[in-house]
A and B are shown apart, each in its own frame.
Chain A
Amino acid sequence: MSETVSKDLHPLEKTLLNWLSENDTGSDMAVMAGTGMDEGSYRRAFQWLLSREMAYVVSSTKTVTVELGPVGAVYTDKGTTPELALLEAVKSGTVSLPEIQKNELFDRGQWGSSMGALVKARILKKGKEGLTVNDSSGGVFSLIWNEVYSVIQNGKTLNLSDLDEQVAAEVSARAPKRGKSRAEFVINESTSSVIGITPLGKTALEGSRGVNTIGILTREILASGEWKDGSFRRYQVDIPPSRIHIGRLHPYGMFLDSVRDKLQAMGFQEMKGSLAESEFWNNDALFMPQFHPARDIHDAYYLEDGVEVAPPPRVLGDNVKAVHEDGGITRGRGWEYSFEWERSLKAIMRSQGTALSARTLASNPDIPGKYFGIAKCFRYDQVDATHLPDFFQIEGIVLGEDINMKHLLGLLKLFATEVAGATEFKFVPAYFPFTEPSVELHVKHPTLGWFEMGGAGLFRREVCQPMGIDVPVVAWGLGLDRMALLALGLSDIRDLLNPDLARLREMKSTPEKLLGGDDNA
């Protein structure tokens, strides 16, 4: 046996065994220095020997070091942390959070969370009369500045174990394992070992002396015929492959493409539009009154002054205005208010994909016709596990002389089964300003249970008539976030657009299974 094993020693293994047999034991650093191996080669050779019980770990020690994270580096530049800055501000008379949030040294969120931290640590007190100082020394936050920042800001290493318990705990809490770009500190763990050779290792090394086996088969060996007399070193075939990194599409993009393919297969043409829209196309053309609660300043992002979106054609604009004010060319009553052009022309970030449908209706669409759009939309929401600053909405319209409620429901049924892979679904009456009747599609997903998949309806005459559309138009919008998360095995929506390549590389690639349905389950 030992002869077979000896013949199969890799040159790196031989080098390592050689050194160990001469020195008996050695630390990682000593072995690398002694053998001239780089760290990768050394680790590989040692792992192979370890698995064959030819080498062993004599002892190992773990060191945990602290470095500044990107946020910490910013604080260093500013010369203070938000906690200390807030404490100073309260000492000099600032009493409320909104007041300090006017100070642009840190952003609103940072002021807010540092107030929370200071109150929790009982350094500040929050009472009826506002914020007051409880512990003017700054407690753990002063310690962090004096004992951590002052040491590591010049790139010096600091061992976590050198810090006192309270400071170490606070530092660790500010060193998230995920989302390092938002970290105040980064904690690195490293292990250094002393390794040694086993009797089996010595025997194998002895047996390998004078034995020359063919390792990598080279062109030269093939050309010279040397292989005819030699024997081949046997590879250990059960070790895991080394990980390579290949070009690939983003899993979320593939999910959206699956939806795009599905809709094309159903006979839909794709619409494309602009990220920025006027309120006209985003709201007015959809018969959303200018006083509608969803048109509040806190529901849409407005572009900086001086940046505009092209105004709508004059005739269309006049028609829409009249329809809002008194029903205009429809037989309706309108919203009975005074429509403001200035408001209508304001440029905002598109807040609903339906803006695309409005533009399509106004540009002489095919009748009969089916259209869909995958549109980036922007909502005024705090970013958290269920909200992104911008997200995709999937929208569509179907126009035709004979289109009616039954077709609307038929299409929704198709989406429920084909796109969501739903086992059950139901239709629920709904309210949207631009459709009447309006319907919500609720589906029972094999994993998610019942949820609202989308809204739909027949566009109101007040939407279609000003655009010169006289046939019925079915409109629908599907929410895909939850299905995308599920399809990709995620629970936090921010992970769809994660900037960490290592984590992106862990996402699976099975585009054929991204949409539900019996065929793909």
Chain B
Amino acid sequence: MPKIEIPLKDFLPLAKMDSTDNLEALLESLKAELDGLYEKTVKIELNDTNRPDLWTAEGIARGLRCWNTGAETHLSCMADPVVHIDVHEELKQVRPYIAAFTCAGWTVDDDGLESLITAQEKIASSFGKERKTAAIGFYPLDGISFPVSYSVTSPETAFQPLGEEIEMTLSEILKQTETGTKYASLLKDFEKYPILRDSAGKILSFPPVLNSQTTGRVASGDSRLFCEVTGTDWHTVNLTATILACNLEDRGAVISPVEIRYSDGDAAVTPHIYRDTLSASLDEISKMIGTPAEELDLEALLSKMDYGEISVSDDSVTAVMPPYRRDGIHPRDLIEDIVIAIGLNNIEPILPSEYTVGSAAPVESLARSVKSLLVGAGCEEIMRPVLTSFEKISTLTRTPVPPIRISNPMTAEYGVVSSTLLPALLEVEASSGHAAFPHRLFTVGEVLCRTNSALCDTAVNLAVSTGDGDFGAVHSILGIICHLRGLELSLKAIDDTRFIPGRSASILINGNEVGILGEFHPGVLEAWGITVPVAGFELSLESLRV
């Protein structure tokens, strides 16, 4: 989840708050958490991955202002566009979309500049998928002559990138600069790279990598800015530009739109004003919240959440989401905002009245019965992780069938899924030489096995082992369990790599082969570093069902 740290002297006036008292509780309405409150800054974690507007100081401040004083208007009086950007055909395959606007009337100060940079980083990395679907550029507006052209160019094109002292070609930028190497993979499939130039031919930036040092460096004191967002996803590009425009407007800037002219004749004016309209029936609201919708002041509640054009009729409510949000994808989302505005802790908790009968899963009931017998037989229960290593199952224990591997393991230690529980018991034995004997161990757990087809299958197995015990010791334990459960047990000699030849057997219960029992081979014990004889058995728990 994104976390941002913002200076309090910037944030509190923006949020129209005098102090941080109550900030923690207020943030809950934005699904945000107070992560840390320091002398000069506040750190906030945002839990809603669909609300990039909140990943900026302006967005959080706006949320809190509306919560306290109601909805605001956004980008409502933009003039018609007077400048435009030409988008070239060849970008279609590379990085097709751009949205842009200009702003004036707010002088960039240090905090504002920091906030622009934070927004640029947070939104482009998370929401913009590490700049793939959206990357952001800010420029001093003066000095740019429109129309700006967004096109492709050869990797050998050169300019002086931001933060560098010399001109570099685009391919040098990708190889030699820190930012370039970080984002080079976005362009690795292309022969030509995106470039943004003004009408005088000056290079503004190399999207999505770096701005120009001469035309793309915003500093404190600038009061007229040009902002563009490029990317591979139309809505991500446009929503990002709209969020940035709303943020700058909140700081006092006047936003002017830019027309985007695509090569195929299409045109769009950006920032795009999203007007996602949501409506829900009063009946549905009543059913979901458990309180008659007629008793709720829906207009006031939705206004706290910054909805516009709220209209409540006899049977439904309709409202328009603010333009910086696009996460309302179902009427249910409107109802959630009503619930948040009411306050979860203001809704009365009650219990469902329908009577239902509880029950454990059959395999769990069976496990309990069998475990109680094993405890009576003096066995101690062991629990180990399901993920384990190929070494433990195959190399050390010599299990004949290889376990299913994880294709992207974190470490080899947890690189396979247990297919048998005997290695876990041997591991305990190997780690417990110093623990007083007898060692009678058992474990009941899920394993993942191969089937005859490609499908895998989860089974619940039971394994028992005796440290310093022989074939007879485990046979007796299995024998008494079967006896007390009224099951007919017999063993059939088989050879198995894990056990001493002539001392291993297939377990048959009521005539069906259900598991294996034997005395571990000294080679297995030696591999594990076990210094006492060990015998064990493993079977499918279901085979003990009567």
Contacts and interface: CB of A to CB of B under 8 A. Distances in A.
Interface of A: 70, 73, 107-109, 180-181, 243, 245-250, 252-253, 257, 260, 263-276, 291-293, 297-298, 301-310, 327, 330-336, 347, 349, 366, 368-370, 376, 378, 380-383, 388-390, 398, 400, 402-407, 409-414, 426-431, 433, 436-439, 458, 460-462, 472, 496-497, 499-502, 504-505
B377 A369 contact: no
Interface in B313-355: 329-333, 335-336, 339-340, 344-345, 347-355
B404 A307 contact: yes
Interface of B: 28-29, 31, 47-51, 126, 129, 235, 287-291, 329-333, 335-336, 339-340, 344-345, 347-361, 363-364, 368, 371, 374-387, 404-414, 417, 424, 427-428, 430-432, 434-436, 438-441, 446-448, 450, 454-458, 529
A278 B481 CA distance: 37
Contact of A330 (B330, B382, B441): B330
Contacts of A388: 385
Contacts, number: 274
Contacts of A383: 413-414
Nearest to B387: A389
Contact of A275 (B374, B382, B405, B446): B446
A245 B436 contact: yes
Contacts of A264: 358-360
A109 B410 CA distance: 10
Contact of B356 (A336, A368, A430, A460): A368
12 contacts: A70-B529, A181-B427, A250-B381, A270-B359, A270-B360, A330-B330, A380-B408, A388-B385, A407-B350, A413-B349, A427-B345, A431-B48
Given A274-B458, A332-B329, A426-B345, A250 B382 contact: yes
B115 to A, nearest CB: 23
Q: Return the 7 tightest CB-CB contacts between A and B, nearest first.
A: A332-B330, A501-B432, A264-B358, A404-B290, A409-B349, A427-B344, A406-B290
A248 B454 CA distance: 39
A263 B359 CA distance: 9
B408 A297 contact: yes
Contacts of A243: 436
Contacts of B357: 267, 269
A505 B356 CA distance: 39
B407 A268 contact: no
B414 A368 contact: no
Nearest to A73: B529
Nearest to A304: B405
Nearest to A310: B455
Contacts of B377: 247
A498 B344 CA distance: 41
Given A349-B417, A429-B28, A462-B330, 14 more contacts: A107-B412, A247-B376, A249-B381, A276-B417, A276-B448, A276-B456, A332-B330, A390-B385, A390-B387, A403-B352, A410-B352, A414-B351, A437-B340, A501-B432
B417 to A, nearest CB: 7
B407 A430 contact: no
A499 B446 contact: no
A333 B405 contact: no
Given A429-B340, A431-B47, A438-B336, A501 B380 contact: yes
